A and B are shown apart, each in its own frame.
Chain A
Amino acid sequence: MSTPVFALKDVSKTFSGKPAVQNLSFSVNTGTITGFLGPNGAGKSTSLRIGLGILAPDSGEAELFGAPPNFNVLDRVGFLPEERGLYRKMNTLAVIVFFGRLKGMTAKKAKKRGLALLKQFGLGDVAYKKVKTLSKGMAQKVQIIAAIVHEPELVILDEPFSGLDPVNQRTLEELIRTLADQGTTILFSTHVMEHAERLCDRIVLLAAGRKIFDGNVDEALQTLPRAVLMQTGDGADPAQALDGLVQSITPEGGVEDERQNWRVELAAGADAQDVLRACVENGVNLTAFEPQKRHLHDVFVHLVDQDESRGAS
Chain B
Amino acid sequence: MRHTYLIARREYLSYVATPGFWLSLAMVPVFMLLGIAVPVFLDRSTPTRYFTVVDHDGRYEQVIADKINREYDAQVRSILRGLAKVPGQEAGALKALEALDEGQDVASASVHLGLQGKTALSAIKQTYILVPPPADTEDGLRPYLLGKKQITTPDGPKELYAAAFIERGADGSVSIDYWSKAITAERLKSTIRRAVRDEMRTEAFARAGLETEIVRTINAMHPVISTLSPEKADGEAEVTASDRAPYFAAVMFAFILWMIVFSVANMLLTSTIEEKSGKVLDSLLCAAPVRALLTGKLLGVAAVSFTLLAGWAVAGAIATSMGTQFLPEGGSNNIASIIGAVLNPGLILPFLGYFVFGYLMFGSIFLALGSLCETLQEAQTLMSPIIFTLMIPMLALSFALQDPDSPILAIISWIPLFTPYIMLARLPADPPMMDIIGTTLVMVITTMIVLWAAGRVFRAGAMHGAGGGLFQETGGVGQGQTGQELGPNLRLRHTKTAASKLTGGFFEFGTKAQNQIICLRSGLHG
In the assembled complex, B152 has its CB within 8 A of some CB on chain A: no
Question: Is B285 within 8 A of A54, CB to CB?
Answer: yes
**Contact between chains at A41 and B466 (CB < 8 Å):** no
Within 8 A of B (CB), among A36-70: 40-46, 49, 52, 54-56
CB <8 Å contact, A87 and B480: no
Q: Nearest chain-A residue to B284 (Cβ)? A: A102
A89 to B466, CA, bound (A): 21
- Bound-state Cα–Cα, A238 to B384, Å: 77
Known: A15-B483, A55-B467, A98-B6. A81 touches B286 (CB 8 A): yes
A146 interface contact, C-beta 8 A: yes
Q: Cβ of B287 < 8 Å from any Cβ of A?
A: yes
In the complex, what residues of B have CB within 8 A of residue A20's CB? Answer: 470, 473-474
Residues on A with beta carbons closer than 8 Å to the beta carbon of B472: 40-41
Of A71-79, A178-186, A216-224, the segment with at least 4 beta carbons within 8 Å of chain B is A71-79
B137 at the interface (CB under 8 A from A): no
Instruction: Count B-side interface residues using an 8 Å CB cutoff.
Output: 41
- Residues from chain A with Cβ under 8 Å of B14 in the complex: 87, 89-90
Task: Name the one of A18, A43, A45, A89 contacting B481, with C-beta atoms under 8 angstroms.
Answer: A18
**Closest chain A CB from B277 CB (angstroms):** 8
When distances are taken between beta carbons in the complex, the residues of chain A under 8 Å from B284 are: 102
What residues on A are CB-neighbors of B480 within 8 Å? 15, 18
Q: Is the CB of B483 within 8 A of A16?
A: yes
In this complex, what residue of B is CB-closest to A48? B286
Contact partners of A46 in chain B: CB under 8 A: 467, 470, 473
From B7, B17, B465, B473, residue with most partner A Cβ within 10 Å: B473
1/0 contact string of A207-236 vs chain B (CB within 8 Å): 010000000000000000000000000000
A83 at the A/B interface (Cβ < 8 Å)?
yes
A104→B283 contact, CB < 8 A: no
Contact A54:B3 (CB < 8 A) given known A74-B286, A143-B283: no
Q: Is the CB of A85 within 8 A of B3?
A: no
Report, as a range, how many residues of chain A touch the other chain: 35 or more
With contact pairs A40-B472, A49-B467, A87-B14 given, residues A16 and B493 touching in the complex (Cβ less than 8 Å): yes
Contact A56 B485 (CB under 8 A): yes
How far does the alpha carbon of A74 sit from the alpha carbon of B3 in the complex, in Å? 12
Chain B CB within 8 A of A17 CB: yes
Q: Among A17, A44, A71, which residue has its beta carbon within 8 angstroms of that of B289?
A: A71
Bound-state Cα–Cα, A203 to B481, Å = 29
Chain A, residues 101-115, CB within 8 Å of chain B (1/0): the string is 111100000000000
C-alpha gap A52/B289 in the complex (Å)? 12
A88 contacts B by Cβ under 8 Å: yes
Contact of A18 with B474 in the complex, beta carbons under 8 Å: yes
Considering the complex, give the chain A residue whose CB is closest to the CB of B488: A56
Bound form: Cα–Cα A45–B466 in Å: 10
Indicate if B501 sits at the interface (CB-CB under 8 A).
Answer: no
- Chain A 80-100 residues near chain B, CB threshold 8 A: 81-90, 98-99
Chain A residues in 8 Å Cβ range of B10? 87, 90, 98
Question: Which partner residue on chain B sits nearest A52 by CB separation?
Answer: B286
0/1 per residue, A1-39, Cβ < 8 Å to B?
000000000000011111010000000000000000000
Whether, in the assembled complex, B475 has its beta carbon less than 8 Å from a beta carbon of chain A, the answer is yes
Decide if A204 is an interface residue (CB 8 Å cutoff): no
Q: Does B280 lie within 8 Å of A85, measured CB to CB? A: yes
CA distance A101 to B292 in the complex (A): 14
B372 in the interface (beta carbon within 8 A): no
Q: How far is the CB of B511 from chain A (nearest CB, A)?
A: 15
User: How far is B82's CA from A211's CA once the two chains are assembled, in angstroms?
Assistant: 89
Known A-B contacts A18-B476, A81-B282, A89-B14; the reply to A102 vs B463 at CB < 8 A is no
Given A41-B474, A46-B470, A55-B463, A104–B282 Cβ distance below 8 Å? Answer: no
A39 to chain B, nearest CB (A): 9
Q: How many whole Å from A58's CB to the nearest CB in chain B?
A: 10
B481 and A81 contacting across the interface, CB-CB below 8 Å: no
B278 touching A85, Cβ below 8 Å: yes
Q: Is A147 in contact with chain B by the CB < 8 A criterion?
A: yes
Given contacts A16-B481, A87-B14, A98-B6, contact A49 B466 (CB under 8 A): yes
Is A147 within 8 A of B283, CB to CB?
Answer: yes
> Contact between A17 and B469 (Cβ–Cβ < 8 Å)?
no
Taking a contact as CB atoms closer than 8 A, the residue among B278, B286, B463, B469 that contacts A79 in the complex is B286
In whole angstroms, how far apart are the Cα atoms of A84 and B476 in the complex? Answer: 22
Cβ of A104: which chain B residues have Cβ within 8 Å of it? 2
Q: How far is the CA of A42 from the CA of B472 in the complex (A)?
A: 8
Interface mask (A173-208 → B, CB under 8 Å = 1, otherwise 0)? 000000000000000000000000000000000001
- A147–B286 Cα distance when bound, in Å, is 10
Which residues of the other chain, B, contact A74 by a CB distance below 8 angstroms? 286-287
**Contact flag A85-B282 (CB < 8 Å), given A16-B483, A55-B463, A104-B2:** yes
Q: Are A54 and B279 in contact (CB under 8 A)?
A: no
Residues of A within 8 A of B468 (CB): 82-83
User: CA–CA, A98 to B274, complex, Å?
Assistant: 17
Q: CA of A134 to CA of B471 in the docked complex: distance in angstroms?
A: 29
| 8 nearest A-B pairs in the assembled complex, by CB-CB distance | A85-B279, A16-B481, A81-B282, A79-B286, A41-B475, A102-B287, A85-B278, A83-B279
Q: Which residues does A use to contact B, with CB under 8 Å?
A: 14-18, 20, 40-46, 49, 52, 54-56, 71, 74, 77, 79, 81-90, 98-99, 101-104, 143, 146-147, 208
11 A–B contacts from the bound complex (CB under 8 Å): A15-B474, A16-B481, A18-B474, A45-B469, A45-B473, A83-B279, A85-B279, A86-B278, A87-B14, A101-B2, A101-B6
Other than the known A41-B475, A82-B468, A83-B469, what 13 A-B pairs have Cβ atoms closer than 8 Å?
Answer: A15-B480, A16-B495, A43-B473, A49-B467, A52-B286, A55-B467, A55-B485, A56-B485, A79-B287, A83-B466, A90-B10, A99-B283, A102-B7
